[in-house]
Structure 1
Amino acid sequence: MAEYDVIIIGGGPGGYVCAIRAAQLGLKTAVVEGRGALGGTCLNVGCIPSKALLHASEFAHEAEGNFAAMGINAKSVSVDVPKMLGYKQSVVDSNVKGIEFLFKKNKVDWIKGWGRISAKGEVTVEGENAGVHKARNIVIATGSEPSPLKGVEVDQERVVDSTGALDIPKVPRKLVIIGAGVIGLELGSVWKRLGSEVAVIEYLDQITPGMDLEVCKTFQKILRKQGIDFVMGAAVSGVEKLKTKLKVAYSLRKDDSAHEMDADVVLVATGRRPFTKGLGLEALGVALDERGRVRTDAHWRTNVEGVLAIGDVIAGPMLAHKAEDEGVAVAEQLAGQHGHVNYGVIPSVIYTSPEVAMVGQTEEQLKEAGRAYKAGKFSFMGNGRAKAHFATDGFVKILADKATDRILGAHVIGPMAGDLIHEVCVAMEFGASAEDLARTCHAHPTFSEAMREAAMACGDGPIHG
């Protein structure tokens, strides 16, 4: 007889949310997690600590740049990096305790240790709570890890990945970032605001690949204006560790010319890969795809009966909220309900300043598909609240079907973009048109008025643009 209805391997956003929802639905549930803290990469060394540092560094930047313009006379601002890192850790600790409380509240068992699927319906745990546990269903929610870069050795001191970049003990004079994706640009923004000289080396010819091209170009222009340098179309071949500095070797793809760049710290931010090591998947016969992700069907089931998978370990965007939605859907499915995830309405956010957010399709995707569409655009230069906040860089762009006016996507670069995007997410879930959004009264003065104006621009035109 099974000890549990479901055992989830991994206590990150997908795993712990799946566990709580399953327990709420009456399933006897356990989570196997060996990190020593629940919350996974996101809460411990990813989303949450990075946002804490972004928040703190933004205040430092505001004090140095905008306080005087607003009539606030403050003494010269200084940054206590160890204290800032302590603040960051306190935010993490508070959230970890919150999840532990939710486990107790919902009667979810936390089995402390590293889990391996040793047989069908069986998880063997090594660690604090070592033992063998049986379950009718097993959910793999082990997330992802930083992708290594050939020729570059990460030591988490001078050459760091996203984890080490959260604990740099002092502001580096020169920070070189390999990769112009979300992680690199967010962490680069943190250390730039705190005083580092920051340079980004990117293999492709555009930053944040996959996002709307107009947004990418505007975003890079703004970051350059903030003092972040970019070397595009460049392949890094190695990092030489000298006594007092690092030398980053790279070549430009356009002419294969060789170059070097000095650095005090190098951040390797070349993406992430699924974490499946030590799970026993090969012995069990669980199928993986060509990128090492667990293959699943439309209901998150693997090819082995009773084994499911969610989050970064399967196909799709590596986003915490995507994993959470899948966790809820799987829990509901296991409880006999009809769990569902709308993959067409999963927002993405970059928490720089300004923030960048998107949902749905880009103009490039619509053009490639031959879809007739219209684009409504509104600049934050025309938004009264943005002017008061010195936050007029950027715009809102809404894409709608040319014939039906149904919203197909939205792209925002500007203040509070990560919060504003959800207005369009809700609209898209209900199949709303741009006119529906345009005719919805928005409070004044708010940043969200820019969303309404962009929707108006899909029709007769905005009022303030």
Structure 2
Amino acid sequence: MASYDVIVIGSGPGGYVCAIRCAQLGLKTACVEGRETLGGTCLNVGCIPSKALLHASHQLHEAQHNFEKMGLKGKPPSVDWAQMLSYKDDVIGQNTKGIEFLFKKNKIDWLKGWGSIPEAGLVKVGDETHKAKHIVIASGSEASSLPGIEIDEKTIVTSTGALALPKVPKKMIVIGAGVIGLELGSVYARLGAEVTVLEYLDQITPGIDTEVARSFRSLLKRQGLDIVTGAAVQSAEALKTKAKVAYKLRKDDSEHTLDADVVLVATGRKPFTDGLGLDALGLQLTKRGQIATDAHYKTSVDGIYAIGDVIEGPMLAHKAEDEGMAVAEILAGQAGHVNYGVIPGVIYTHPEVAAVGQTEDSLKESGRAYKVGKFSFMGNGRAKANFAADGFVKILVDAETDRILGAHILGPSAGDLIHEICVAMEFGAAAEDIARTCHAHPTYSEAVREAALACGDGPIHS
């Protein structure tokens, strides 16, 4: 029976980062993973493959719509779907092999198989049982569905099936206008599919700033996505040659049906803890089925910790990574910490959407006095030159102190630009601090500075 300081269950972003950090801090570490490759959902059937298809389909969009404007003449490229999937698989392979290399470099044992916890201090993988002073559950999440809808990953699919369709569908219905639904809906719309998105709520991308959501929806509509909000899906069934979806409009209770070649169910994700034996352990769960933890990621059972999608908080790979780092440092006797107020969220459509901190809606609800600094990418020279001038930067600051409370970016490279705001917020900076920092010209980041200037006397280029 092998003995370890730490056994991490799950090799997704939270798990593998936790394992590496534990090893760096001198703890004898093993990681349990039942997939044939490391990296969890994110690297295998989530973040990485979806971004590969988003990148490829965006290049197609550029060739179809903008190349000729720049003097690049010729027929737009045709789509070799099999080759595009091969490219996606190659990207997955490079990343998962990279994690395997990092495990070897840091002397982390990969316990291959699905793990369970027969009792505190023990992890069973296959027929072998291993001892551990500490166990970290980082088993991630799985796609959730709607009652009565049967997923076959062929006609009615989750994000997993949508990343490996045998051909580009002529018609696709997406149930759910969240991050996954809009990203994959954008991919197939660019590739020529007729995409209809059905969202139960009255706003797309629930939780983001209302002004951003409104503008974002308008841009997606211009790109060909038909978005129906207030739509309560009643059923989705796979027929012989097509799929059929029935829904009601909440505003008038009217009934509607749609046909499609593929239905993508993108109604969120739920913690994946099957087979771990949590009930027998008596591990406490929340009302939503997440593993309950304290401020130090300890569960109700001594020696067992949990991080990532299986606990409360946003289901984001980078949130799981930060928690993995924090719990590793705690186990090594250090002061691990995650600032949950400064965790950015990004939607990788085009334009991208990125946000951190408070929304204008949440500030109004709390009654806090605030100011808004806003700048359109139409005033940014680099964005105009690159046919990427849609969207804006919006910074929210305390009305008295000018301290940054949140930021929202709809525009080119928003997912990269948001981190300037994140760093500023970590240091308790004011908008004036960003406004007085020299930004290289011409860059998209100048729009961030202009929005910061707009929190004071006003932007220069607007």
TM-score, structure 2 as length reference: 0.99
- Contact 1:300–1:330 (Cα < 8 Å) also in 2: yes
Q: Give me the whole-angstrom Cα distance separating, in 2, the residues matched to 1:56 and 1:232.
A: 28
- Contact 1:12–1:42 (Cα < 8 Å) also in 2: yes
Is 1:266 paired with 2:301? no
Deviation at residue 36 of structure 1 after TM alignment: 1.2
Question: What does residue 431 of structure 1 align with?
Answer: 428
Question: What does residue 313 of structure 1 align with?
Answer: 310
Deviation at residue 234 of structure 1 after TM alignment: 0.9
Question: What does residue 220 of structure 2 align with?
Answer: 223
Question: What does residue 171 of structure 2 align with?
Answer: 174
Q: Which amino acid aligns with 1:381?
A: M
SS in 2 for 1:117: strand
Question: What does residue 58 of structure 2 align with?
Answer: 58
Q: Give me the whole-angstrom Cα distance separating, in 1, the residues matched to 2:189 and 2:272.
A: 31
Question: What does residue 440 of structure 2 align with?
Answer: 443
List per-residue Cα deviations over 1:198-250 (Å, max 9, x = no partner). 00001000000000000000000100011100111111111232222221111
Q: Give me the whole-angstrom Cα distance separating, in 2, the residues matched to 1:88 and 1:72.
A: 26
Is 1:374 paired with 2:360? no
List per-residue Cα deviations over 1:260-283 (Å, max 9, x = no partner). 011111000000000111111110
List per-residue Cα deviations over 1:163-197 (Å, max 9, x = no partner). 00001121111000000000000000000000000
Q: Where do residues 302-451 of structure 1 align in structure 2 (5 Å cutoff)?
A: 302-451=299-448
Question: What does residue 24 of structure 1 align with?
Answer: 24
Question: What does residue 5 of structure 2 align with?
Answer: 5
List per-residue Cα deviations over 1:352-377 (Å, max 9, x = no partner). 00000000000011111111110000
Deviation at residue 88 of structure 1 after TM alignment: 0.1
Deviation at residue 412 of structure 1 after TM alignment: 0.1
Is 1:83 paired with 2:83? yes
List per-residue Cα deviations over 1:373-416 (Å, max 9, x = no partner). 10000000000000000011100000000111000000000000
Question: What does residue 96 of structure 1 align with?
Answer: 96
- Contact 2:19–2:108 (Cα < 8 Å) also in 1: yes
Q: Give me the whole-angstrom Cα distance separating, in 2, the residues matched to 1:142 and 1:220.
A: 34
Q: Give me the whole-angstrom Cα distance separating, in 2, the residues matched to 1:418 and 1:397.
A: 14
Q: Give me the whole-angstrom Cα distance separating, in 1, the residues matched to 2:408 and 2:28.
A: 42
Q: Give me the whole-angstrom Cα distance separating, in 1, the residues matched to 2:234 and 2:275.
A: 30
RMSD: 0.9
Choose which of 151, 154, 157 in structure 1 pairs with 2:151: 154
Q: Which amino acid aligns with 1:55?
A: H
Q: Which amino acid aligns with 1:296?
A: T
SS in 2 for 1:163: helix
Deviation at residue 148 of structure 1 after TM alignment: 1.7
Q: Give me the whole-angstrom Cα distance separating, in 2, the residues matched to 1:85 and 1:215.
A: 32
Give 5+ residue unaligned stretches, structure 2. Answer: none
Q: Give me the whole-angstrom Cα distance separating, in 2, the residues matched to 1:277 and 1:229.
A: 37
Q: Which amino acid aligns with 1:301?
A: K
Question: What does residue 288 of structure 2 align with?
Answer: 291
Identity %: 72
SS in 2 for 1:337: coil
Q: Give me the whole-angstrom Cα distance separating, in 1, the residues matched to 2:336 and 2:152.
A: 42
| Displaced runs of 4 or more, over 6 A | none
Is 1:134 paired with 2:138? no
SS in 2 for 1:62: helix
Q: Give me the whole-angstrom Cα distance separating, in 2, the residues matched to 1:399 and 1:443.
A: 23
Q: Which amino acid aligns with 2:441?
A: H
Deviation at residue 76 of structure 1 after TM alignment: 3.1
Q: Which amino acid aligns with 1:21?
A: R
Give 5+ residue unaligned stretches, structure 1. Answer: none
SS in 2 for 1:124: strand
- Contact 2:215–2:391 (Cα < 8 Å) also in 1: yes
Q: Give me the whole-angstrom Cα distance separating, in 2, the residues matched to 1:229 and 1:111.
A: 46
Q: Which amino acid aligns with 1:327?
A: G
Q: Give me the whole-angstrom Cα distance separating, in 2, the residues matched to 1:152 and 1:268.
A: 9
Q: Give me the whole-angstrom Cα distance separating, in 1, the residues matched to 2:217 and 2:76.
A: 29
List per-residue Cα deviations over 1:412-463 (Å, max 9, x = no partner). 0000000000000000000000000000000000000000000000000000
Q: Give me the whole-angstrom Cα distance separating, in 2, the residues matched to 1:372 and 1:28.
A: 50
Question: What does residue 199 of structure 1 align with?
Answer: 196
- Contact 2:371–2:397 (Cα < 8 Å) also in 1: yes
Q: Which amino acid aligns with 1:84?
A: M
- Contact 1:152–1:237 (Cα < 8 Å) also in 2: no
Number of aligned residues: 462
Q: Give me the whole-angstrom Cα distance separating, in 1, the residues matched to 2:273 and 2:78.
A: 43
List per-residue Cα deviations over 1:333-365 (Å, max 9, x = no partner). 000100010000000000000000000000011
SS in 1 for 2:159: coil
Question: What does residue 48 of structure 1 align with?
Answer: 48
Choose which of 446, 453, 456 in structure 2 pairs with 1:456: 453
Q: Which amino acid aligns with 1:364?
A: D
Q: Give me the whole-angstrom Cα distance separating, in 2, the residues matched to 1:74 and 1:332.
A: 56
SS in 1 for 2:186: helix
Q: Give me the whole-angstrom Cα distance separating, in 2, the residues matched to 1:229 and 1:156.
A: 23
Deviation at residue 2 of structure 1 after TM alignment: 7.6
Q: Which amino acid aligns with 2:54?
A: L
Q: Which amino acid aligns with 1:92?
A: I
Q: Which amino acid aligns with 1:402?
A: A
SS in 2 for 1:56: helix
Deviation at residue 150 of structure 1 after TM alignment: 1.2
Q: Give me the whole-angstrom Cα distance separating, in 2, the residues matched to 1:50 and 1:240.
A: 25
- Contact 1:2–1:136 (Cα < 8 Å) also in 2: no
Q: Give me the whole-angstrom Cα distance separating, in 1, the residues matched to 2:252 and 2:193.
A: 30
